[in-house]
Amino acid sequence: MEPLHARYPFLARSREAVEAAAVDLGEIVATDETVTARALERVESAITDGTVGEPHRRTRVELLSYPVARVLVSLVDVHICTRKYAQAEAEAAYDRFTEEFETTTELKSTQRETLDRTELLAEFDLASAVSDAGDGYRVEVGAYLDLAADQRGDSWRLVNRPLADGEVRVTAEELNVLLKQAIRHRVTDGLPFTVPDAIADELTEEVDRLEEVLSELELTREIDTVVPELFPPCMKSLLDQVQKGEHLEHHSRFAIATFLVGIGMTTDEIVDLFQVNPGFGEEATRYQVDHIRGDTSPTEYSTPACSTMQSYGDCVNMDDLCEAISHPMGYYEQKLDDTDEEELVDWREDEGDEEADA
């Protein structure tokens, strides 16, 4: 196990080093407090401040804490935790390799082994997709899109790039950002996986700790945020029809109303929203919404599951995420989790702003 492995634990050769050392993960988590503590720190810091914390001074501990951290993330099995963790690992690696790339070109020290760009590109099968263009690089469009499609900012959009003969021009700095994304994909790959009980049992304390951290931060975002762009396709379509003033059948109307109640809209807000539609009298709407809410009835009604939506023909425009969920609410929760906090604009706040401006 070399220092380079510990700095870049996601590399194939680092994993091989762990394998070659024939360490038994079960034994490590049972006996090696230092490794589990460092693993916990990796994940905890990822959640709280987007870093993986200070590396442990012992190469062995630092390197082994990586597979253990992955075990922890798998046990916690919360989407946002996995995402934050992969992001933090990628950031840490990015800081290291950008620094090392510079040292390699300037004053090459033979003190320690460093990672160069060529090796990193080869690691992610990008060797043939990226070529040197003198003052920057050319990246094959397929590889570029893999790594740039979820970058934020107009400058990453393919439409704003000089694309010629299947290659996209990028600067050296941009290529580093793309490599960071490749690392993030690598870390995310295979997470979460199934952890044998024997290992899980040794890590209950650490998992509890992480769950506590997650709940303290309220990272699992409250569902009562109204962001129509993130609505499941069925609800988008129903809302659309409501706003176009189209007639909705009872079950459709029930579905959209329960959904809106479920995500925390008040009766007044829903009445306002439905008002544009002459088919929805205020009184009737108010009554129905209160009824759903359980104010005027003993039962609190919840949004129908996808199977019910399907049998009523309210399930439309299914997308990839639909394949993975069974309830429109689950769809929305997942979407909220996937979206960064800063990007979420609650509809009601948005409307408020407009009014304030006017």
Partner 1 sequence: MEERTRAYLRGRFGDHYRQASVTPPPAANEREWGFIPWTEGPGETMVRHRSLLDLGEIEDFLGRRKPRHVYFSAGRYDEPSASTMSDKGWRSSDLVFDLDADHLPSVVLGEDSYAEMLAKCKDALLRLLDFLEEDFGFDDLTVVFSGGRGYHVHVRDERIRHLERDARREIVDYVRGIGLEFDELVDEESVAGTAGRSSPAQKRTLSTEGGWSARAHRHMLAVVDDLLAMEEADALDRLQEYDGIGEGKATAALNAARSNYEQLEAGNIDVHPAFYQLAKILLHEVVAADNAPIDEPVTTDTNRLIRLPGSLHGGSGLEVQRIDREDIDAFDPLVDPVPETFRGHDITVEVTDGGLVELDGDSFTLEAGNQTVPEHVGVFLMARGRAEKGKE
- In angstroms, the CA 4 to CA 188 distance is 21
Find the part of the chain contacting ligand SF4 (CB under 6 A) among 41-49, 95-103, 161-169, 228-236. 228-236
Dihedral (Cα; 286, 301, 266, 251), 10-degree rounding: -60
Size of site (CB under 6 A) for ligand SF4: 10
Yes or no: say if 65 and 42 are a contact pair by the CB < 8 Å rule: yes
330 contact partners, CB below 8 Å, separation of at least 6:
none
Placement of tokens 């008002």 in the chain? 275
Distance between CA atoms of residues 57 and 51, nearest Å = 17
Q: Are 46 and 88 in contact (CB under 8 A)?
A: yes
- 315 annotated as ligand-binding: yes
Q: Map residues 278-317 to x or -, x wherever contact with ligand SF4 holds by CB under 6 A.
A: ----------------------------x--x-----x--
Among 232, 259, 277, 285, which residue interacts with ligand SF4 (rule: CB under 6 A)? 232
- In order, the DSSP letters of 306-322 are HHHHHHTT---S--HHH
* d(C-alpha 62, C-alpha 18), whole Å: 11
Q: CA Rg, the chain, in Å?
A: 25
Distance of closest approach, residue 160 Cβ to partner 1, in angstroms: 4
* Min separation Cβ 241 and ligand SF4, Å: 14
How near is the Cβ of 331 to ligand SF4 at its closest, in Å? 4
Comparison of 319 and 349: residue with beta carbon closer to ligand SF4 = 319
Q: Which stretch binds ligand SF4 (CB under 6 A): 18-26, 196-204, 214-222, 232-240?
A: 232-240
Q: Is 234 annotated among the ligand-binding residues? A: yes
Q: Which residues bind partner 1 (CB under 8 A)?
A: 129, 140-143, 145-146, 148-150, 154-155, 157-167, 169, 319-320, 323-324
Measure Cα distances from 29 to 23, 64, 91, 173 in Å: 11, 10, 26, 39
Closer residue to ligand SF4 (CB): 177 or 305: 305
Task: Look at residue 172 and give the partner it binds from partner 1, ligand SF4, none, a contact being a CB closer than 5 to 8 Å depending on partner kind.
Answer: none
Work out the angle between the directed axes of helices 141-148 and 172-188 (0-180°, nearest 10).
Answer: 70
- In the complex with partner 1, the residue whose CB is nearer, 142 or 298, is 142
Query: Smaller CB distance to partner 1: residue 165 or 341?
Result: 165
Per-residue tokens: 26: 């079960």
Kindly state the smallest distance separating residue 168's Cβ from partner 1, in Å.
Answer: 8
**Rounded distance, CA 232 to CA 246, Å?**
19
Residue 142 CB, shortest distance to partner 1, in Å, is 4
Label residue 92 left, alpha or beta by phi (over 0 means left) and psi (-120 to 50 means alpha): alpha
Among 1, 234, 248, 263, binds ligand SF4 (CB under 6 A): 234
Residue 310 backbone dihedrals phi, psi, to 5 degrees = -65, -40
- CA dist 255 and 250 (Å) reads 9
> Which DSSP letter does residue 131 get?
E
Binding mask 314-333 for ligand SF4 (x = CB under 6 A): -x--x---x-----x--x--
- CB nearer to ligand SF4: pick between 191 and 322: 322
CB of 130 to partner 1, least distance (A): 12
| 328 binding partner (options partner 1, ligand SF4, none; Cβ < 5 to 8 Å by kind) | ligand SF4
For residue 252, the minimal CB distance to partner 1 (Å) is 20
Verify cis geometry, omega within 30 degrees of 0, for the bond prior to 3.
no
Q: Where do contacts with ligand SF4 occur on this chain (CB under 6 A)?
A: 232-234, 306, 309, 315, 318, 322, 328, 331
Specify binding-site residues for [4Fe-4S] cluster.
234, 306, 315, 322
Specify binding-site residues.
234, 306, 315, 322
